[in-house]
Structure 1
Amino acid sequence: MSNDALRAVSPTTDVGSFPDRRADRAVVVDQVRAVTADWDRANGPEDFPAARLRDLARLGALDAFVALPDEAAIADLLTVLRQVGGADLSLGRVFEGHINAVQLVEAYGSAQQRVTLIEDLAAHRTFAVWNTEPTPGMTLAGHGDGFALSGAKCFATGAGHLDRALITATLPDGAKQMVLADIAGQPDRVDNSAWQVRGMRGSMSGTFDFDGMIVSRDALIGGPGDYEREPRFSAGAWRFTAVQLGAIEALLRHWRTHLLATGKGADPIQRVRFGAAVAATRSANLWVARAARLAETARPHAIACVMMTRGIVEDAGLQVMEGAARAVGTASFFAGSRIDRITRDLGLYLRQPVPDQARDRAAAAWMEADCWGDDPWW
């Protein structure tokens, strides 16, 4: 099928929007804050956090942030991402991917696809976004009244445990098309055996084989190239920095608890190191909040701000991980230690794609842009 024909059957995107959940969000934020505090004390599972994900669904967190109509909604999502990340980074990764997926469907889907999305969320179905793929990659070709998929996705967070995956598949001309695939109840397509990592084990980011899967025309979300449309594509990274920030803040709290419990807080060297970590974490908090506002309101320089924020959060994370390890010592490396769990998970999660390139893009934009006035973009 030609790209022109594909565009002819692709959903329109100029129709109604998802209902505003403003009345519910405050309740969701409070309930998530309470339940994640319990999770933090209980540490986290090494396997997929299915029970915790069901709790987020029960509390309404999976469908409260499909639309972000104002800055209050953006701030609420930021809070929930931080709270979940501070309690369980694997769950935070799953939750952030779910939010990304449903927002993409809401942004680019047709009226009927949005209705289906509402129904899926009401049934507590969970979503993911999978883009990374092994060679030769994913392709999409016409097949009768629908389309046939060929290829696989790797680093597929939640593989074997979620219900829907928003994936990208390459068209004959090289453009990427979003496809919303039903991935529930297909264990033969899942391979998590290679996900042998020190951290983020619970995210179950294995491989899902799509070879031979047939999807209908209704599974196509938006048109060719919409997945990588800016500023949403790059600026959306603010969400995972919020999850990471939550873990950094939790690690800082555990570090403080150790200093107070052991009396080490009386040592000025310990206090200097801890104070520097507090400053780095608070700075990261401000950057994430600013990045979220710019990204979700599609403001100028949003991408550059988010790229710089990635580096700021990474630096804070590395500083807090090292400082906590120095303060707590050998005990921080024992299995079952909350500090050990956060450090292992965060160490991996901070390795998001091309971190050096992100910093370079931000610095280049900062040098070129007129951003030194009374109201600097950053």
Structure 2
Amino acid sequence: MEPALGTRGSLAERVREVARDWDQVNGPETFPADRLRVLAEIGALSSFVMLNDCSAIAELLTTLRLIGGADLSLGRVFEGHVNAAQLIHAYGSDEQRAELEHDLARGRCYGVWNTGPTPPMRICASSDGFLLSGAKNFATGAGHIDKALITATRDDGGKQLVVVDVAADRSRVDNTAWQVRGMRGTMSGTFDFDGMLVPESALIGAPDLYEREPRFSAGAWRFTAVQLGAVEALLRHWRDHLVASGKGSDAIQRARIAAAFVATRSAALWVTQAARLAETEAPQAIAHVLMTRGVVEEAGLLVMEGASRAVGTASFFASSRIDRITRDLGLYLRQPVPDQARDRAAAAWLEADCWGENEWW
């Protein structure tokens, strides 16, 4: 599944061109349908189903950073799409992979919806197929994406991956509760699956594959790449303000942004290594990715605070790119259990018996 237009090597440049324009103005705080359509047209949605070599990994990393720097809501949608496509390709049958390829060629967008209210979603065999009951919330792109890869509990207690055409019935969507300061464009609302029937061909793989390691934990490198792109964009806008305003001659301003340069570049090195370790399934991948989450978070918090101090009141106007990136990034950095992630990484490094290998730390 190669890009629809051009070679994979040209894809990042195509994304760079459109992302440069998107980063100049704030897009509407609704689902970024037009921007997603552009990504489909340049072949981004049909790429990265398989990462066969280091160049493909680097290409995905660059693409995630560029999109994240231009529009974090779009970055979240795109990252979820890549995750869904890779999961279906990894665990699906030949027929399911063929359907995925057909959908991607048509520019259809996928997502992964795992989070749900209590009680959890269930799937039960019936005479007409498989019956779903329950709902998913924090469902990125609800009402806008085409298909969702969801998790549902089977009668035997296993967690089953199911791919569902969620565009078939938009009446099941409720986005009214998605009233947030940032990341509004993700439209991460609720989808009610009660009474929905799916065929056996919708079941992806055996039970309990979704949380299989190292893919489950190490795959978090993708969203750290999206977040990193936003941190880098925010740093650029901060730098541009200092140059344009002449404040760069102030030693205090230089000291503040110097610390931000170091933190951001360090985060980039961590994310780059995380991508390589995760996609090659290195033994230290999970620990490294978990720690990378915290490294990117710290860089983001530092740059957000520094930019607002340097620019002042102007950075809080709704039309400001600094305001938009800060609001979106502030929410996106609140990924689940950040303290637990760092604790797990630290424990893994303490228990490792191969400290002679530099890649462990």
Give the aligned partner of residue 339 of structure 1: 322
**TM-score normalised to the size of structure 2?**
0.98
TM-aligned CA deviation for residue 24 of structure 1 = 1.8
Q: Does 1:161 align with 2:144?
A: yes
Q: How far apart are 1:23 and its partner, in Å?
A: 7.0
Q: Determine the C-alpha separation between the residues in 2 that align with 1:134 and 1:33.
A: 38
TM-fit CA distance, 1:367:
0.8
CA-to-aligned-CA distance 1:200-253 (integer Å, 9 cap, x gap): 000000000000110000000011011111000110000000000000000000
**1:48-98, CA deviations, whole angstroms, 9 ceiling, x for partnerless residues?**
000000000000000111110001100000000000000000000000000
Corresponding residue for 2:210?
Answer: 227
Instruction: Count matched residues.
Output: 361
| Post-superposition offset of 1:174 | 2.3
Residue 72 to residue 146, structure 1, CA distance change in 2 (3 Å)? same
Letter in 2 for 1:263: G
2:255 to 250, 255, 272: 272
Take 1:146 and 1:220, find their aligned partners in 2: how far apart are those partners?
Answer: 11
CA-CA distance at 1:147 after TM superposition: 0.3
Letter in 1 for 2:7: D
State the secondary structure of the residue aligned to 2:360.
Answer: coil
AA of the residue aligned to 2:304: M
In structure 2, relative to structure 1, the CA distance for the partners of 1:70 and 1:152 (3 Å cut) is same
Q: Does 1:322 align with 2:292?
A: no
Pairwise CA distance, 1:172: 2.1
Q: Is the 8 A contact 1:150 1:212 kept in 2?
A: yes
Q: Provide Cα deviations, 1:296-351, integer angstroms capped at 9, x if missing partner.
A: 11110110000000000000000000000110011100111000000000000000
After TM superposition, where is structure 1 displaced by more than 6 Å over at least 4 residues in a row?
19-23
Decide which of 328, 333, 342 is 1:359's aligned counterpart.
Answer: 342
Secondary structure at the counterpart of residue 41 of structure 1: coil
CA distance in 2, matches of 1:338, 1:313: 20
User: SS of the counterpart of 1:102?
Assistant: helix
Give the 5 Å matches for 1:63-82.
Answer: 63-82=46-65
Q: Out of 199, 213, 231, which is 1:216 matched to?
A: 199
Letter in 2 for 1:349: Y
- Cross-structure match for 1:312: 295
Q: TM-score, normalised by structure 1?
A: 0.94
Report the counterpart of residue 14 of structure 1 in structure 2.
none
Q: State which drifts further: 247-256 or 117-126.
A: 117-126
- Equivalent residue number for residue 88 of structure 1: 71
Determine the structure 2 residue equivalent to 1:152.
135
33, 41, 44: which one aligns with 1:58? 41
- In structure 2, the gaps of 5 or more residues are none
| Aligned-residue offset at 1:377 | 2.4
How many Å separate the matches in 1 of 2:46 and 2:260? Answer: 35
Partner of 2:333: 350
- Listed as ranges, the matches of 1:1-378 within 5 Å are 24-378=7-361
**Aligned amino acid, residue 179 of structure 2:** Q
Distance in 2 between residues matched to 1:173 and 1:360, nearest whole Å: 32
Post-superposition offset of 1:21: 8.8
- The runs of 5 or more residues in structure 1 that have no matched partner are 1-17
Task: Give CA deviations for 1:168-212 in whole Å, capped at 9, x if unaligned.
Answer: 000123221000000014221000000000000000000000001
> What amino acid is the match of 2:198?
V
* Distance (Å, rounded) in 1 between the aligned partners of 2:20 and 2:6: 23
Q: Give me the whole-angstrom Cα distance separating, in 1, the residues matched to 2:301 and 2:86.
A: 31
Identical residues among aligned pairs (%): 70
1:265 shift after superposition: 0.5
CA contact (8 A) 1:36 1:87 kept: yes
**8 Å contact kept, 2:3–2:11:** no
